[in-house]
Structure formats: structure tokens, C-alpha cells
Structure 1
Amino acid sequence: MAPIRLDLTARLCEQLGLFERPGVRVVSAEPADDELLTSVHDEDYVRAVQAASADPRQAQEVFGLGTEDDPAFPGMHEAAARIVGGSVDLGRALVAGRTLHGVNFCGGMHHAKPGCASGFCVYNDAAAAIVAMLRDGAERVAYVDLDCHHGDGTEAVFWDDPRVLTVSVHESGTTLFPGTGFADELGGAGALGSAVNLALPAGTGDAGWLRAVHAVVPQLVGAFRPDVLVTQHGCDTHALDPLGHLVVSVDAQRAAASSMHALAHSAAGGRWLALGGGGYEVVDVVPRTWAHLVAEASQQPLPPQTPLPEPWRRHVLEVLGREAPRTMTDGAQVAFAGWDSGYDPGDAVDRAILATRRAAFPLHGLDPDFD
């Protein structure tokens, strides 16, 4: 989670001219206040974060602070609260009709739970943005998580809330943190079907990953009819990522962003809040994937063969001592078979897809075998 991944992403977007495109505005954000943070998090947890932020020696592991994943550091509260402020501001702008799309690639902190930090995440900006949008008049919000890891924190916040659909497509918890997110995890008794999980086997590549996303997400979001679509684009699904075991390319991640953009228009009136998330290959993957996301949201996708600006590549060499990619593509030929091509019981990806469809689709009035 080194901040350089965000710096390199912003520099790349700037040097590609994405921030200067017509209709694009780069806006600053203030840290979320206590009232906003406690709309999602327990008050005693927020106080613990503030105390550890002022003096890291006060970090309490009972709140997930001072751990290997979430070490305490001076200014931690302000940094995490500012990420929340950015996502909330964008969400409110969407509901108010001041913008149609919003991107916060600093956000997507989906592991933070109401009462503790987890998995590099201190405050859950996605959940706070969804709560703010509901308070501002949105009646239903769909959240789609494409990170390699299960979006457990965001799911937990809305486990009993039928107004929010959370869909997470991730590597199976049998092989990856946080060890949750299986097909039978469907939401609380008063909101059964509000949580949907698709747990993919380690080693899933572009074709299987995109087949899985398209076999579950558009159908469920379309049936849910949300006012706003929120998507989390953790790019630790990439083959080069050091923490996950999926083998997805930048090209497939770009295709998924395009699909989420189209889904926002077909199912949510175009209102789309796109967030970052995980991603730990900070040169080859994170900046390119999220620059593609920004370009997609600006309604002008970048051609895959777009060269990376030489000043950006020189900066990477100077700062990190390594060569950067030359273009915005991995050279992958992105293609996948839709679910209507037929189910292969011998394929582990298809078995995972079918398990999720059979568990969740009937709860939304969908036929798991044909819709």
C-alpha cells in the first residue's frame, strides 16, 4: 500500500492528459468528520484510530491497529479520513446530479469493518459513500467488488440492509485472505440475497475471470435496479501481483472497467462511482490499470497501444531504479465465452460460477441456468 502507487497513477493520468479532458475536474477532499465516520464505524474504534494517529504507541491490536497489516503511524486518521471524504463527496455529487461519473482511485478500502482495521484498510470509504448516498435520497445502491480479495468489510456493513446489493468476485478464501466470501454467504435474515459472492480458484486467467464477472454481475445488478452503481477496481487480480494468485492482465482489467461503465448506464441511469482498492505491483500494473479507469470514466477510453509518456518512464527509473512498461497494454487478446455457451462441469471456474448463480439468482427472481 505504499503511497507511491497513487503518486505514479496521478502522474501518469496527468501526463496522458486525462485530467485536462473536457468535462473532467480534479477536486480535492477534506477529511471526513466524526459524524460521517461513525455512520459506518463504531465510535470507540474511531477514537482508537485518532489516538494511535496522535501517538502510534497507543495502537491497540483489539481494533486491528499496530499490526503487520495495519501499522499505526502519525497522521493515520487524517490520511484515512481524507480518502473517505473524497469518496463521499463524489457519491453525493452523483445523487445531486452534479456529475454522472466519479473516480477515487485512492479509495476502495473494502476490508475495514465497523469495529476494526483489516487488510491495509483503516476506514471504509466505499461504505461511507453508500451510506451518504442513501441519506441524500438514493433508494438502492449496488456495489460490485472486483478486487482479488473478498470485499468483506463493505459486505459486513450492509449485511442486513436490503437497500444495498454487494457483489464480490474474488479469489477463493481457501487460498487467500480474508478466508471468506463463499457462495452461501448471502446476507442477513432481513436482507437475504443482498450479499453475493463468487469465489474463483487460484490460477484463473483473463477468459475465466471475465466469464465469471459477466455470468453474475450484469444480471444481478440489472434485476436490483439501483440508483447508483459503485465499483471497486482492486488490480491485485493481475498475474504480477505479489499477494494474489489470479493471472489477469491489464487488458482484462480495462475490459472490466468498460463493462462496469456500460452497466452503470444500462442499470443505474449512468450514475457511477469507481474506486481503487488493492494492487501491489506499483509500476507495471497499478498506474496503467487506474489510468485506464479514469479514461473510461471520462467517456474516452485509451487505445491499448497508447505509449507511456517518456517523462513518466524516466521518473520511474529515477525513483525506483527500474524500467517501466512502454505501452498501456500487456498485449493480451481479451476474449471469453458467455454463460450461454454452456456449462462445463469439469471446469473449476464454471463450477464456482454455477454455485453462485444457484445460491443467489433465485433470490432475485432470476433463473440460475438460463438468465
Structure 2
Amino acid sequence: MTDRSVFVFSEELLNYKFSSHHPFNQFRLKLTIDLLKKINALDSEHIIPPRMASEEELLLIHDPGFINAVKKAGYGQLPKEIAENYGLGTEDTPVFPNMHEASSLLVGGTLTAVDQVMTGKALHAVHLGGGLHHGFRGKASGFCVYNDSSVALKYLLKKYRARVLYVDTDAHHGDGVQWSFYDEPNVCTLSIHETGRYLFPGTGNINERGQGAGYGYSFNIPVDAFTEDESWLYAYSHAIREVAEFFKPDVILTQNGADAHYYDPLTHLSATMKIYREIPKLAHKIAHQYCEGRWIAVGGGGYDIWRVVPRAWAMIWMEMIENPNSIGRLPVEWVEYWQAKSPVELPKEWDDPEDLYPPIPRKPEITEKNLNTLEKALYPIRSQKKSETI
């Protein structure tokens, strides 16, 4: 097994573009890559291009009628009323040219990362263009056409017969992935997200635990609005450790949405860069503890593309290659070059200032609520361990 890490990317991934004013903007990939290059942490030998997912691979999850509709929509051949039945042409997921090709490349990028890790060519692989966790079998949803993580998980089951732990730290619940594997005992899904009482897609409750053979393999930790670093990290660190110990995976696939940050315009959480340091650090540790290091990471949400996403996503790669050079000031060349193009003032440092936002008045109440949520979410594991020790 090599200790090599690979970074899946090509400029073609930027073709997944709804419009110039849509909040989902893959230009964040370029900002992240440029940041990594400016600190000499990423060079051409690390980067491998994504391949296009085949139709047979898309069919592992998606309905043939839906795939056909996506193809037609991308060529302007799908009537509006039919498109809407497939979740296409909506405000969230507008139709754009060559939509099938762009979406298939995104899926193929995640499959490229999977193959690199599972064949032993790399120990870790990251595909930040992926992480579109809302797509369903027959319907686009929440900025997601095809669901690359769901296809990758099914691919891992079928091709590699692997037992997979899927960890989703996007502020929005990973509904498309959860429902795709709700009755599958060899995929364990763990999602920590803002409660669906306030946020799309409105799912991800504690009592969504799986069904049939998959019962007990779905874990949800819906944290309260305005949750801050300490409470968020307490929930995440306990959940990932306990779920990994319970499930004992062969490989870990992490979805790394960067939208739990205080600056994110679409969510209501109050996290800072502190959580984005710890998320990959713990995932890395779990991968080595249970999976001989096998770790695949994808992107996801993240709608403050200038101040948050590049720093958060760069930290995933820095963790993979065990490069400690993400402390203190950001490279001046990166800040100065992109500041001329940015609509907001860019941060000067990797970490956020302590006084990023005014104190949250409900902090003790929110913390207590999240503790109770965590306890209920992990109760099946904890009660089982307790009974085993008696």
C-alpha cells in the first residue's frame, strides 16, 4: 500500500455551472487549488484528471428515464413541464447546456478517487468537485443533478465488496445518500447538520435510523441553529469515533460541505475555521485506525466561495499529505491577486479572529440541546456497549 495522496481535478469540472448568479459556484475549486499552489503544497504530480462516469455506472443509482431526461434537458429538448417532474429547470437546479456530460464528469471524478484508493495506487484521494448529496434515483434536488457519493458507495459495494462509512459534515442533511442506502447494512451513514426545522431539505431527524437489514446503520445529529465550534466539535468527535468503532469500516468516504461557517449565506450555524481543521484530522485518524488509511474525500456545499471554502478545503489536502503549513498568514500573493476580483474583503490568515461575530445569547441552551441530541442519536450504540459490559 502506497502512502501517496491524489487530488482529482481538471478545468472541465467548472462546466457544472447553473448560471453566473447561482449560489453553487465551482469557481471555488480554482481558488482552493491556487491557494494550495501558492504554499507549494500541490503540484502536477499530485493531480489526476477525472474521467466521465459511464451510463452503466450512473444506473447503479439513477433511473434510466431520469438520465435520459438530463441528456435531453442539456440539449434543450425537454419540455418545461416534463423537466419539472425530474426536478430540473427549477430555481435550485436550473437546466444548463451539456448538463449530462458535466454531471457525469463530476460523478466520474469521485469514481476516479475511489479506484485510486481501492487499487492501492493511493492511500488518500480528494475530489472537491464532488459531494452532491441531494440527488435522488429519479430526481435532481438542491443544486445536485447526479449523486456522485451515492454512485460511488454503490460502486464500492459492487466492485470492491467494501464496508463503507460515509461521513457528511455539510450543514444540509445528506438526504439523497441516506435514502439510497437506508436498507443496506454494509453502508453506514453519519450526518451532522443543521436541524431540518430551519433548513433544506428538512430531513435528518434522530429517528431516521434505517430500515430492514439497514436498520441501525443510519445516524443523524441535527444541531441547533447558531451552534458554535465547541458544541459542534463535541458532537462530531464523539459521533465519528463511536460510529466507526461500532461499524468497523473497510474505507471511509467523507463529504466536506463548508457551509456550517458563520459567513455562509444559506445556513444559520456559527462555526469558524476551527471545525475545518478538526474535520479532516479526525477522519484521517479514523481511516488509519480502522481502514489501513483508506480515505476518500469529496466536496459539497459552501457558498462563501471567497472567504471560507478555499481555506476549509485546502485543509483537507494539507491533512492528507501531513503538511503543517496552514498556520498564521495566508500567502500574500494569493490574497492580493484574488482581492482585486473578490466582492468581499478576503481574510489574511488561515484562522478566523476570536471576535468574528457578536456573542450568541442562547449559547448554554443550544449547547445543552445539542448534547441531548447527540445522546439520543448514539443511544443504540451506547446501550449495546453497556449491555456487553454487564
TM-score (norm 2): 0.86
Contact kept? 1:292, 1:301, Cα under 8 Å: no
Deviations 1:263-282 (A, max 9, x none): 11112111000111100011
- Does the CA contact (< 8 Å) of 1:138 and 1:228 recur in 2? no
The SS at the match of 1:110 is: coil
Q: Distance in 2 between matches of 1:20 and 1:272?
A: 20
Say whether 1:20 aligns with 2:43: yes
Correspondence for 2:118 among 92, 95, 120: 95
RMSD: 2.2
Cα deviation for residue 120 of structure 1 reads 0.6
Aligned to 1:366: 385
Question: What residue in structure 1 maps to residue 360 of structure 2?
Answer: none
CA distance in 1, matches of 2:327, 2:181: 37
Q: In the alignment, which residue of structure 2 is the partner of 1:255?
A: 278
Closer, same or farther in 2 for the Cα pair 1:321/1:346, shift >3 Å? closer
**C-alpha distance in structure 1 between counterparts of 2:160 and 2:221, whole Å:** 30
Checking the alignment, whether the CA contact within 8 Å between 2:194 and 2:225 is kept in structure 1 is yes
For residue 333 of structure 2, what is the aligned residue in structure 1? 311
- Whether 1:221 aligns to 2:240 is no
- 2:251 and 2:295 in contact (8 A); partners too: yes
CA separation in 1, counterparts of 2:201 and 2:160? 33
Cα deviation, residue 332, structure 1: 4.8
Work out the CA distance in 2 between the residues paired with 1:61 and 1:367.
50
Aligned to 1:18, the other structure's residue is in SS state: coil
Q: Is the 8 A contact 2:273 2:352 kept in 1?
A: yes
CA deviation after TM superposition for structure 1 residue 201, in Å: 0.5
1:153 matches 2:172: no
**1:299 counterpart = 2:318:** no
Structure 2 counterpart of 1:202, which letter?
A
TM-superposed CA distance for 1:136, in Å, is 2.4
Q: Which residue of 2 aligns with 1:4?
A: 27
d(CA) in 1 for partners of 2:110, 2:235: 27
Task: Indicate the SS of the match to 1:20.
Answer: coil
Residue type of the partner of 1:43? Answer: P
Give the aligned residue type for 2:336: R
Aligned partners of 2:69 and 2:78 also within 8 Å: no
Quick one: distance in 1 between partners of 2:354 and 2:125?
28
Structure 2 CA distance for partners of 1:27 and 1:317, relative to 1, 3 Å = same
In structure 1, the residue corresponding to 2:190 is in which secondary structure?
A: strand
* Aligned CA distance change for structure 1 residues 214 and 321 (closer, same or farther; 3 Å): closer
Q: Is the 8 A contact 2:227 2:367 kept in 1?
A: no
Partner Cα distance (2:335, 2:229) in 1: 27
Does residue 348 (structure 1) correspond to residue 366 (structure 2)? The answer is no
Amino acid at match of 1:251: K
Question: What does the per-residue CA deviation read over 1:141-165, in whole Å, with 9 as the maximum and x for residues that have no partner?
Answer: 0000001010100111111111100
204-213 vs 249-258, greater mean Cα deviation? 249-258
Residues 56, 72 of structure 1: 8 Å contact kept: no
| SS of alignment partner, residue 341 of structure 2 | helix
CA distance in 1, matches of 2:179, 2:213: 14
Assess, with a 3 A threshold, how the Cα gap between structure 1 residues 321 and 166 changes in structure 2: closer, same or farther: closer
The residue type paired with residue 46 of structure 1 is I
Counterpart Cα distance in 1 of 2:373 and 2:340: 44
* Equivalent residues of 1:169, 1:213 under 8 A apart: yes
Does the aligned pair in 1 maintain the 2:227–2:271 contact within 8 Å?
yes
Q: How many residues align?
A: 355
- Contact kept, 8 Å, 1:196 with 1:360, in 2: the verdict is no
Q: Which residue of 1 aligns with 2:12?
A: none
SS in 2 for 1:358: helix
| Mapped partners of 1:346, 1:208: distance in 2 | 6
Q: Which residue of 2 aligns with 1:336?
A: none
Residue equivalent to 1:357: 378
The correspondence of residues 141-220 of structure 1 with structure 2, limited to 5 A, is 141-220=164-243
> Aligned equivalents of 2:265 and 2:69: distance in 1?
31
CA 1:183–1:28 in 2, change beyond 3 Å: closer, same or farther?
same
Equivalent pair of 1:138/1:227 in contact (CA under 8 Å):
no
Determine the C-alpha separation between the residues in 2 that align with 1:329 and 1:80.
33
2:107 aligned to 84, 96, 108, which one?
A: 84
SS of 2:185's equivalent in the other structure is: coil
Gaps of 5+ in 1: 334-343
Q: Aligned to 1:79, what secondary structure does the other structure show?
A: helix
**Who is 1:38 aligned against?**
59
| Equivalent in 136, 139, 153 of residue 113 of structure 1 | 136
Q: Which amino acid in structure 1 is aligned with residue 170 of structure 2?
A: D
Alignment of 1:284-295 (within 5 A): 284-295=307-318
Q: CA deviation at 1:64?
A: 0.6
Structure 1 SS opposite 2:139: coil
Match of 1:338 in 2: none
The equivalent residue for 1:270 is 293
Q: Which residue of 2 aligns with 1:330?
A: 352
Question: Is 1:320 the counterpart of 2:355 in the alignment?
Answer: no
Distance 1:141 1:332, change over 3 A: farther
> Residue 149 of structure 2 is aligned with which of 114, 123, 126?
126
| Separation (CA, whole Å) in 1 of partners of 2:32 and 2:184 | 34
TM-score, normalised relative to structure 1: 0.90
Partners in 2 of 1:345 and 1:308 — Cα distance? Answer: 33
